[in-house]
Amino acid sequence: MLAAAFLAACNFPDETPETGCDASSLIPPGIPIEDSQISDTLRPTVEWVYDGECEPDGFRIEFAPDADFGSAQAFVGSTDAATWTWTPSADLLPVTKYGWRVAAVSSSTIGPYSITRPLWTGPVCDGPYLRAPRLISPDTGELVANPSPELRWTSDEEDCLVANYVFDVSTDPAFPTSAIEGSTGPWEAFDTELDYLIDCQTYFWRVAATAGMDLVSEYAVDFFQTQFGDTCEGQIEPVTVSGTLWSDVCSAYGTCSGVLPAGCQCIEGGIVADGERQATEAGIAGVTVHVGQGECPAASYLSQYNAVTDADGNFSQTLPPGI
């Protein structure tokens, strides 16, 4: 009888320990606020906290460039329930903005994800000379209907991360005063709920890269226009200076005689390149094109207005009225 009673007691449902957590009991992990979002290593350690009532089996960590977790470059890590930190086993890509998130896991159930936290990899640019940022939005001459539009730009530096930028917006292309100004980084954008623009105005905006308190790039400058209602008078058209820089080649030498090969011309009795781009003539990339006032050659150049040739040697920049 005692044995029978013992076996019966072992079959009571409330004596069987609960295993795993159902989906409704899993909560998003918490991500502590970090002092810096720039990692000084390509294998950064991330951490989180979890205070759910049911202990999960473990955690799932996802990393992806630009927080695109469905991309081929996204990867997944995991830890057990007692481990709230994780370090990737391979290097992240350098000079890349990542997004990462974490979720509790119970059996085959993945709980809700945490907020997505940004993380940038270096190395960080330390100057003293950097390329001017490339302005993205608002577009050149765009009619902006928002009194506090988002400003967006990007760095053309390929080998290092620009950690800080300065920007300002003004109705005067010389920027003696500003409607708004500030600094940010490594974010390549600025947005505010403060309405700092007025209707039917032309605004100029500029951004430069900095290192500490030092300006280490020239300003990139562009302009946009505000139109909050149906119409505005006196809107101006964008003015663009553009062209192409390429390696102009002539394979012939000496004095002019006979039929010249393609790409050549005769000037003052000598054979020179013809100034026409041939299919085999490559563009020259990475050259800064400066603008000066008056006839060529200019006595001086306007340091805040410049363009850099792209991979095919093309350049384009927009100038404010009067330049």
Map out the domains of the chain with their CATH numbers: 18-121 (2.60.40.10), 134-237 (2.60.40.10)
> Could you tell me which of 162, 45, 42 has the C-alpha nearest to residue 94?
42
pLDDT on residue 261: 83
Q: Please determine, for residue 160, whether its predicted confidence score (pLDDT) is greater than 50.
A: yes
pLDDT on residue 323: 61
Alpha helical stretches, state H, 178-292:
none
Tens of pLDDT, residues 56-66: 999 999 999 99
Q: Please determine, for residue 211, whether its predicted confidence score (pLDDT) is greater than 50.
A: yes
Instruction: Specify whether the CB–CB gap between 191 and 151 falls below 8 A.
Output: yes
Q: Please determine, for residue 296, whether its predicted confidence score (pLDDT) is greater than 90.
A: no
Cα 315 versus chain centre, distance: 20
Cis before 297? omega within 30? yes
Percent over 90 (pLDDT), the chain: 52
The residue type of 301 is Y
